[in-house]
Structure 1
Amino acid sequence: MWKRRLKDLVGLAAIAGITGVIVLISGIFPVRASDGHWAITKWFLDFASNRSIQTHATGIDVPNLDETGLIRLGAATFDTNCRWCHGVPDLPMPSPASQMTPRPPNLKPVVTGWDDDELFYIVKHGIKFAGMPAWASPQRDDEVWPVVAFLKQLPNMSLADYREHVHPTRFAMQDSADLSDKKGAIVNIVREHCAACHGIDGNGRAGDRVPKLSSQRKEYLAATLVAYRDGQRFSGVMHPITVNFTDEELRSFATHFSQQPRKPMITTAVEQDSDITDHGRRLATDGDREHKLASCNDCHAVNVDGDEGSGPDRSYPRLAGQPKEYLRRQLQLFREANRGGSSNASIMIKIAAKLNDDQIEAVSKFYANELIDPE
């Protein structure tokens, strides 16, 4: 009896398999997004996705999300990468996204259902079968956390709040009358794509994770923007912006920021007379022979006297006056070989590999205290 039943089951399985192959080859099964998912399919995908996120997010270390400027940085990143599908507060969902299957959710009412570590996991890794992409630069966890900080505030954020974060100068500032058409066009592009994080004058407005671009060497800025665009310097924030511009346009933006005067530091100021800063001064000016480290000022302008470093390559950046957190993170990324960059990046990877945490902290704190002497 059992042999007969087994034979029947094998026959049914064979028929089902043949039927499945016929359906697959014929193309009769519709895959059009306009049909949406069956209810059972939607339930299964949602349940499997939610359980997977909850499981894999366990153990993720959540940093301080109250850091000054973090929400603003996250809002600007969201505006560049995410609003095309998820929309912005208090406005209708974008029409193309509303026709996707599954439909991207309006995040305002749903983010409260996720913990911080789960939001991080979703933003970094994306979701299969949902059109939700993974973060463009998997090396850069530090770029994902500002988006999480923003999402946590999104349920209580108005459209006016959102616009203040991402378009601070769109309505409040007009082009100067003496700007030429070309220069005016550059300013408008900078206002649209750069001002939310860097400020239109390059002095920053999104916290100490963001570099100051004002009075930076234009050669360095141009090479950096090209490296971001070409994927040689890793960033899920900068690549989506720079990918839309030519070499000439990127050089124009670099020139704009290099000509802006540097304003005195406020949030990045740290004590100059501490032992840590003195240690950083020695590393910057004298190096460390024991660890075979040349002085930073051999290549990087400006040294403590306000003079240019001796390095002939103007694609090396000025470090003086940059935020400590930004400098510290860049050195860590170099040490981990997770930063990338222009043709000079390989030099810094070898140097940073020799630095310990105390040395990185010291040299970052030292340069954050130094005043830049623009040309």
Structure 2
Amino acid sequence: MQKAQSTLLKGLVAGIVLTALLSLLLVLFVAYTGAYNIAASQDDSPFVRWVFSTTMQNSVAARADEVDAPTEFSETQIAAGAEHYKAMCQHCHAGPGVERAEWAQGLLPQPPHLVEEAAHCQPNEVFWLVKHGVRMSAMPAFGETHKDAELWDIAAFVKQLPGMTASEYAALGQQTGTHKH
């Protein structure tokens, strides 16, 4: 009995090692032959979209848990965040009554329309995304060029987007006119 278990275990380990080697060979084949089309003019397959989306969501959630978010945001923070958002984010993520820039239509993956998607994110997740960006997407990391307080302002504003009207959106971020980018 023990010899059969030992043989079974050796076969299982050999199967796992062989599967890992074949997977590595497949990855190397795809990488070196250019078999995967990286053109931004052709959407990814549903499986690839799922893998990227699921990986991104879980990665952000895991890392954002380490970020302590303020318990509430002031109207001043929201207004300042609106100014930053309109200068840095609106061209890709749009806004109430405002479409994304024409050139952003060619981005793959398409940046999320935050008027809807922000409702599914926590403030610490928005902050983390704005600070660190997302690889293999057009989402830059603003942490090197902006102070955390400015990034929290953006997070405060983004969390207000769901349910915001076009006129409310238009009125926000126009108060100071001091944003420089």
TM-score range, shorter chain: 0.7 to 0.9
Q: Give the residue type in structure 1 aligned to 2:59.
A: S
Q: Give the corresponding residue for 1:126.
A: 133
Q: Give the corresponding residue for 2:54.
A: 47
Q: Give the corresponding residue for 1:253.
A: none
Offset at residue 79 of structure 1 (A):
0.8
Q: Give the residue type in structure 2 aligned to 1:35.
A: Q
Instruction: Answer 1 or 2: higher relative contact order, Cα 8 Å, separation at least 6.
Output: 2
The answer to whether residue 93 in structure 2 is matched with residue 82 in structure 1 is no
Q: Give the corresponding residue for 1:165.
A: 172
Q: Give the corresponding residue for 1:143.
A: 150
TM-score relative to the length of structure 1: 0.40
**Higher mean displacement: 23-32 or 75-84:** 23-32
Question: Contact (CA 8 Å) 1:65, 1:145: kept in 2 or not?
Answer: no
> Quick check: which one's helix share is greater?
2
Taking only the aligned residue pairs, the percentage that are identical comes to 25
CA deviation vs aligned residue, 1:193-245 (integer Å, no higher than 9, x gap): xx43x4xxxxxxxxxxxxxxxxxxxxxxxxxxxxxxxxxxxxxx64xx2xxxx
Offset at residue 65 of structure 1 (A):
3.6
Question: Contact (CA 8 Å) 2:131, 2:142: kept in 1 or not?
Answer: yes
What SS does structure 2 have at the residue aligned with 1:154? coil
Q: Give the residue type in structure 2 aligned to 1:113.
A: H
Q: Give the residue type in structure 2 aligned to 1:134.
A: A
- Aligned equivalents of 1:59, 1:21: Cα separation in 2: 35
- CA change 1:44–1:27 in 2 (3 A) is closer
- Aligned equivalents of 2:64, 2:23: Cα separation in 1: 42
Q: Give the corresponding residue for 1:72.
A: 79
Q: Give the corresponding residue for 2:101.
A: 94
Q: Give the corresponding residue for 1:58.
A: 65
Q: Give the residue type in structure 1 aligned to 2:115.
A: K
Question: Contact (CA 8 Å) 2:130, 2:143: kept in 1 or not?
Answer: no
- CA change 1:60–1:138 in 2 (3 A) is farther
Offset at residue 138 of structure 1 (A):
6.0
Aligned residues: 172
- Aligned equivalents of 2:23, 2:147: Cα separation in 1: 50
- Structure 2 residue runs of 5 or longer lacking an equivalent are 1-6
Which residue, 145, 153, 158 being the options, matches 2:160? 153
- Aligned equivalents of 1:70, 1:139: Cα separation in 2: 15
Question: Contact (CA 8 Å) 1:65, 1:146: kept in 2 or not?
Answer: no
Question: Contact (CA 8 Å) 1:111, 1:152: kept in 2 or not?
Answer: yes
The answer to whether residue 111 in structure 2 is matched with residue 104 in structure 1 is yes
Offset at residue 102 of structure 1 (A):
0.7
Question: Contact (CA 8 Å) 2:81, 2:173: kept in 1 or not?
Answer: no
- Aligned equivalents of 2:56, 2:39: Cα separation in 1: 22
Which entry has the higher C-alpha Rg, 1 or 2?
Answer: 1
Q: Give the corresponding residue for 2:4.
A: none
Offset at residue 166 of structure 1 (A):
3.1
CA RMSD of aligned residues (A): 3.2
What SS does structure 2 have at the residue aligned with 1:60? coil
CA deviation vs aligned residue, 1:302-323 (integer Å, no higher than 9, x gap): xxxxxxxxxxxxxxxxxxxxxx
Q: How does 1:205-220 map to 2 (within 5 A)?
A: none
- Aligned equivalents of 1:162, 1:14: Cα separation in 2: 53
- Aligned equivalents of 2:125, 2:91: Cα separation in 1: 22
Q: How does 1:170-319 map to 2 (within 5 A)?
A: 195-196=176-177, 198=178, 238=180, 241=181
- Structure 1 residue runs of 5 or longer lacking an equivalent are 169-194, 199-236, 242-375
What SS does structure 1 have at the residue aligned with 2:62? helix
